[in-house]
Structure formats: structure tokens, C-alpha cells
Amino acid sequence: MEKFKNYINGQWVEPISRKYFNNINPADINDIVGEFPESGQEDVNNAVAAAKEAYKKWKMMPAPKRGDIIKRVGDIFLRRKDEIAKIMTREMGKPVFETKGDIQEAIDTAYYAATETRRLFGYTAPSELENKMNLSFRYPIGICGVITAFNFPIAVPSWKILPAIASGNTVVYKPSKDVPHAGVVFAEVMEEAGIPPGVFNVVLGKGNMGNMIVEHPDVNLIAFTGSTNIGFKIGEVCGRTNKKCSLEMGGKNAQIIMPDANFELALEGVLWGAFGTTGQRCTATSRLIVHKDCYEKIIEMLAEKASKLKLGNGLLPDTQVGPVIHQAQFNTCEEYVKIGLEEGARLIIGGKKATGSGLDNGYFFEPTIFADVTKDMRLFQEEIFGPVLSVSKAESFDHAIELANGVDFGLSSSIYTRNVNDAFRAIRDIEAGITYINAPTIGAEAHMPFGGVKGTGNGHREGGWTVFDIFTEWKTVYVDFSDKLQRAQIDNY
């Protein structure tokens, strides 16, 4: 069995504890991917120290030169796409066609971030005083702690890591304990691209390791993707220690179907949104809100299509839906099925472990659909992070919007309609960071802002030009060439 190491200060090093944990393929629990470090505080300290030392030189490198390295990162991901996709599928379960898309997002992000190193624009503005110029510049922040979830093992880290280093910061990265191999691969790619020692460090581990990074006094910023509960805890620590933090947390995303929609298109959208990545996306379509005039018809059509989805090992070419990530998540899905039945929701299909050829040794859960789910039910309100879809009836367009907004999250949203007025009203009225018209709730593009409102995040947006607002600080500069004292913020009138 292969034994992997941390990547600290440009070197592959064993954990100080010399302890390791097994990483298991969720599609086949008898398949052990490898042994990965159980790192601790001393490993984190070493990584942070390396990042702190490297920051002195890295921030001074001209930004376009940093962009040259990031461009090479994209080139290497492109060259290794098929290989890395299979590594990711074996590690976390989703089909290869999805993991290839995961890597393509990293490629797109690398190329975008590389070009933005020539566009880290500041602003100039006229002064209120004579013979004076007002300027502003973007500056890096320092050492960034990056902590991410398992479901997008390469894409989501790239959204944070590549803009962070493009901006002149250094990074200590802790991937999810469920996808440590992807973290190793990310370090391999960065190393081959020529990243200087200490600029990018990967520390692998379980348990309290993420908190060791968050609490470290020399870490200046935390960029986090994961559960809402952990995100809130990170926010508390960062508030207490005055660290900047970007939190991308949970979702309970709704797709609305109106009577004038293209039903076939809408059903393709909800199947992909609800069961793509086995429902393990923060942008997953967890709720389907259907107008009363087409409610039963949509449920009937949806059940027929969902029952035909092919479950299996993601490495097989005909697999459409893989396993959930581990036993605990499988148990969560079972628990929510029980909750739904107790609450009085109508189980349409699924609700139990999937069985059959190639499924018995993995964490496969049947695509599950509940109907008649009301706003007061836990199925409606709580993120499940699995292949469980709740269907609710809307009495009108306004009621559909009310239902869509009736949760504590606000990441993604969708409406299927041919009515242009309803489409624009939905854009205006849905409380979410993302709204799709006639498309599912999933499918972010690298050059556009990504993030949500309410319990989904703390106001930052990854992706696009807005991500650089996370990883840079502003410096305002005043140049007075009047040869006399001029007093601003005095009543000069």
C-alpha cells in the first residue's frame, strides 16, 4: 500500500507523529487508496513558518511573473486531466465525467487567475485639493489558511489557492480528510509548475487539524468551504483573533417549475441538480417547487426518469450516480428518510440502500424523492447533502417565490418558465447569490462570482474578479505636490 506525505517548504515530509490513516474508496470499502499523514500542531507550525518566510520574497515578485507560474499550473492540470480524474473518482466516488469537469474548472481558474495578474487594478480619483493626486493599490494579505470539503477535490481548492497566490499571498492548505490524495496531486502540480518552496504547503490530517490552522497566530486569512456549523465556528475564531475570513457554507437550493415551462428540459435539470455528485453539492437541487397546475404530472414524469438512473462505480463508463462519501453520510440519508416519513411526506421512490451488481460493498443510496413536503418540515429546511429531493406544491408564482425564500440558506436557485416577466421577477425576488433561468441550480463558471446570502456565507464571492477582494487589501495613497500644508476633512468651503 502506498504511503503519502505532507508537502511543506518544497519538500515531501512525513508527519511528526509518524502516524497515518487509511483512505477508503466509497464505491468499494475493500479498496484502500493509500495511507495518509495524521498531522498535528507541529506539522502545522512548520508549514506556517515556511509560508511566512516565503511570503517575504513572493509578495515582491511582479504579479505577471506569478501569473506565468499559475498558467503552467493550468497546463499541467490539462495534461494530467484523465489521470487525475480517475484518482479523484476512486477517492470520492463521483463518475469520471464529473471529475473531469472538476479538473476543467481548475484549468479555467488557473488561466483566468493568470491573466488577472495583469489586471490587479487600483483606482485613481480626483482630489478635493489643488496639486494633489489620490491613488489606490491592491496588496497581498499574508498567509492564507485554505480548508475545503470533499465534493470538489480540485476545483474548489483552485478557486481559493490560485487567486490567493496570484495576489502575492502564501498558502497552507488542508484538504478534507476524505480526499487527501487530491491534496497531494495539487501539490505535485504546483511543484512541477515551479512554485517556490514555502509558497504553497499541504498538511494532511483528521480531527482538529483545521482548527490548528484557524487558531494559528501567524495565519492572516482563512478561506473555508464546508458545513455551516463548522463555518460559524471558524467565523467566531476569526472574529476573536481579527483574521479576515471567507466562508462558503451550506445550501438548500430550490428549482421552480411553472406550468408554461419546457417540462422535459426542467426534468433534465432537476435530475442533474438533485442527483449529480450524488446530491453532495452545496448547490444541489434539494427542493423542487412545482406549480399546482402541473404538480402531479411533474412528479409522475420525475419518478419515471429518476428510477432509470444508473448507479455504480464512477470508474465505469455507464455510471450516472456514484456512492455517498462514507458511512456517516449514508446514515444521514437514512435518518432523513425516516424523518420525512414521520413528518408525513409522501415517499415517491428510493429511500434505502441501493443493491445489485457492484453496489454491495459501497455506500450507494437510492435516488430518493419525497412529495407533499411543506415549509415546516425538516426535509424542506435542512441540508442533507445526499440524493434526497423534496417536492413542494406552489399555489401561484408568488407562493413559489415565497417557498424558495423560506429557508435559512441562499446560495443557488432556478426557475423554468417561458414567461419573460416571471423570469425577471424571479431574478429580482429570489434571495440567493445565484439564479438560473431554465437551467439547474448547479454549474458555476470560473469567471463569474460564486457565493450566497443568509446562512450560506459571510458576503464574499469566489470566482471571477470578485475573488481578489478576498485575497487583497487596499492601500490608499495621497500625493501632495503643492509645497504647502493642505488640510483635507476640514471645512475648506
CA gap 31, 45 in Å, rounded: 33
Cβ atoms of residues 347 and 368 within 8 Å: yes
Residue 394, C-alpha cell as written in the block: 406552489
Q: How far from 198 is each of 64, 82, 301, CA to CA, in Å?
A: 19, 28, 54
Alpha-carbon distance values, 235 to 240, 248, 363, 455 (Å): 9, 11, 32, 12
Task: Compute the C-alpha angle 159/160/162, nearest 5°.
Answer: 80
E strand segments, 184-311: 200-202, 221-225, 244-248, 253-257, 285-291
User: Whole-angstrom Cα distance, residue 315 to residue 25?
Assistant: 11
Which residue type is seen at 96? Answer: V
C-alpha to C-alpha distances, 231 to 42, 101, 416, 417, nearest whole angstrom: 24, 26, 32, 35
**Active-site residue among 238, 245, 282, 333?**
282
Q: Decide if 248 is catalytic.
A: yes
Helix intervals (H) in 242-294: 263-275
Which position has the grid cell 407533499? 372
The phi, psi pair for 82, rounded to 5°, reads -60, -45
Report the C-alpha gap between 467 and 411 in whole angstroms.
16
HEC string of 15-27?
CCCCCEEEEECCC
Catalytic residue of the set 215, 248, 366, 462: 248
| C-alpha cell, 52 | 511566512
Burial class (CB in 10 A: 0-12, 13-18, 19+), 438: middle
Q: Distance between CA 332 and CA 343 in Å, rounded?
A: 16
What are the catalytic residues? 248, 282
